[in-house]
Amino acid sequence: MESLRWYHSTWFIAVLFAFWFLIIPIIIGCILISKKERLIKLWEIDKIQEFEHIKNELVLKEAELMENVRQFEEEKMVERKNLELQKQNEEKIIQEKMRLRKIELENEFNISKKEAINIQLRYEREKKDYLKQLERQSKRKLHQIKRLKRLQKFFMREIIVLKDELLEILYYF
């Protein structure tokens, strides 16, 4: 509370009441007491309004952070689904391409069994290389998901801090 003027101080008003027999000091004392009470009530109302404003800001921040957390969770789920679908589709495409390539090579060159085995080994090697590439891509995607989880934990900690700040403000008022 802002400091009151010297004539609003308790000791000054008490001195005025001590001279009650002069009549004028008691009237002035009563006026000063009512004015002091009104100033204190205005100050309290101002502080309550300030507190409400701070509380509303904190509630808005909490809602915003909760919305961010929800969005991150949705993005994480969509990313996982997309990763799985992409992996399945690519595996099917690889298998079909390799099967067609093998048939094409066998028909084109009328390959002997020995050559067919070599082609099969090459097919397996290429398949293995492509699967390794897919594995690397999936690891990158999983790393992104882990990063999103850490970000979600950070936002949850921020929400807890905001709630603690709100409780501190409530405690002081």
What is d(CA 167, CA 32) in angstroms, rounded to the nearest whole number?
Answer: 36
Q: How far apart are the first and last CA of the chain?
A: 12
Tell me the per-residue pLDDT of 100-132, one tens digit each, with 9 for 90 and over. Answer: 888 887 776 665 667 777 878 888 898 888 888
CB contact set of 162 (below 8 Å; sequence gap of 6+): 58, 61, 62, 65
The residue ranking higher by pLDDT, 164 or 84, is: 84
- With a cut of 60, say whether residue 1 has pLDDT above it: no
Mark residue 23 as left, alpha or beta (left: phi above 0; alpha: psi -120 to 50; beta: remaining): left
Over residues 134-160, mean pLDDT: 88
CB contact set of 144 (below 8 Å; sequence gap of 6+): 79
pLDDT of residue 52: 93
- CA 55 vs. chain centroid, Å, equals 18
Band of pLDDT at residue 39, cut at 50, 70 and 90: confident
